[in-house]
Structure 1
Amino acid sequence: MEPQKQQDIGRNERVILIHGLSGNRWVLWPLNRFLTRQHYCPMRWCYRSVLNGVMNHAERLRAFLEREADSPEPLHFVTHSMGGIILRAVLADMDWQRPGRLVMLAPPNHGSRVAQLASRSLHYLCPALSDISTSPDSLVHRLPVVQSLDTGVIAGTQDLLVHLDSTHITNQIDHVLVPCGHNRILRHPESLDEISYFLRNGRFTEGARRVVSAASPSGVVV
């Protein structure tokens, strides 16, 4: 790539990074550093994932995004796991018109069987587990898709927390796989390259691995 073109990759566009359940700002650090080197302006939005449900976190994020909704400048999002569900919960109630793209990493769009099992004993400590479970009445099954953002999904082939079929969402523009597990996807080289490519182009690379898979309502974990 020519030096001048490389300088223009991110065009200083802003990217909001949102971690998943039990995450923190430090798990987002490799992604933050990578996007900064790609000339984006990333910002890590963090929350205490225990003791609160998804809608509690969504209220905080909504208060932040309401100040951002009217700008004509692009604003992108990269979410990990439950972070994508929180963003869906926020944008479901907002008239979001700001241009931008969304990359969801290992999102439990149809719930997680592991979360369902854990919620039986840890619900009071972490209500969010019930929100992202595979139970038919869980929050994740009641949320609409995010229509206002071009959405791409990256799933891990070795993810033992969120089944591949559960990561799909009906409005996705593209869906690709990387050879890693649930948390490694935040810093895997292939994942980082695909994130950057989608933010620039609205699709993943031609050489990325893809499978045709229907979204599973059960989201059974292998």
Structure 2
Amino acid sequence: MEARDHQEFDRKQRVILIHGLSGNRWVLGSLNRFLKRNNYQTTRWCYRSVGNSVMNHAQRLRAFLESEADSPEPLHFVTHSMGGIILRAVLADMKWHQPGRLVMLAPPNHGSRVAYLAAKGLHYLCPALSDLSTSPDSLVHRLPMVESLDTGVIAGTQDLLVHLESTYIANQADHVLVPCGHNRILRHPESLQETLYFLKNGRFTEGARRVAPTASPRGVVV
């Protein structure tokens, strides 16, 4: 009995890593190695991000996760940028037997001004740009909140692609800032440590930098 209990204690929890627009498995390398060193079993879910819409990507991710929803073991997620929006589209209609935790790195939860501008000329080459736009009718403004997983958000103070106020999500458990840009957040030492702490505790460290979000007249965090 004691040996079995010890085995249960040592079992590695699983984490799915999801990259953002124009990313690949290699951009997740530092995060992947860091979590493995800290006793997590990681899987990098990769996709060809440029030629499809967010909902097309979400269909593929949903098919990948369908067999996981009833697992007795918690399944955690760490997403970067658009990866978090794809996961939100999937979580809208998935229920988990044993919910895990979600860390969103630099997520454009309320859209990206850069995506809005780029979509004007590149929509047909990259439909996802319109989904990530700050336009009021874009997909990001129609997705429900994340209800099934405790969610923490890490934003970069030097992010030129996703504005700080766009990273907040209404029912987040915690939100912190890291002094880096949009892609550096995937390998910044502080970002890695905060990600690990949230996966273990459901909140970020006490000493992390936090800034209260502002709210629009509609009561939506922006």
TM-score (norm 1): 0.92
Deviation at 1:96, TM superposition (A): 3.0
* Letter in structure 1 aligned against 2:108: P
Q: SS of the residue aligned with 1:77?
A: strand
Deviation at 1:60, TM superposition (A): 0.3
Q: Which runs of 5+ in 1 are unaligned?
A: 1-7
CA distance in 2, matches of 1:85, 1:153: 13
* Letter in structure 2 aligned against 1:130: S
Aligned to 1:198: 198
TM-score (norm 2): 0.92
CA distance in 2, matches of 1:120, 1:79: 26
Contact map agreement 1:85 1:107 (CA 8 A) in 2: yes
Q: Which runs of 5+ in 2 are unaligned?
A: 1-7
Query: Which of the pair has the greater relative contact order for Cα pairs under 8 Å at 6+ separation?
Result: 1
Identity %, equivalent residues: 81
**1:55-134 to 2 correspondences below 5 Å:** 55-134=55-134
Cα RMSD, aligned residues only: 1.7
Contact map agreement 2:214 2:221 (CA 8 A) in 1: no
Aligned residues: 212
Q: SS of the residue aligned with 1:66?
A: helix
Deviation at 1:194, TM superposition (A): 0.2
Deviation at 1:11, TM superposition (A): 4.8
**1:1-222 to 2 correspondences below 5 Å:** 11-214=11-214
CA distance in 2, matches of 1:41, 1:10: 12
CA distance in 1, matches of 2:202, 2:110: 23
Summarize the Cα distance change of 1:38–1:215 in structure 2 as closer, same or farther, 3 Å threshold.
farther
* Letter in structure 2 aligned against 1:89: A
CA distance in 2, matches of 1:56, 1:212: 34
Higher alpha-carbon deviation: 209-218 or 101-110: 209-218
Summarize the Cα distance change of 1:150–1:218 in structure 2 as closer, same or farther, 3 Å threshold.
closer
Q: SS of the residue aligned with 2:194?
A: helix
Higher alpha-carbon deviation: 89-98 or 163-172: 89-98
Q: CA deviation digits over 1:132-159, x for unaligned, max 9?
A: 1000000000000111100000000000
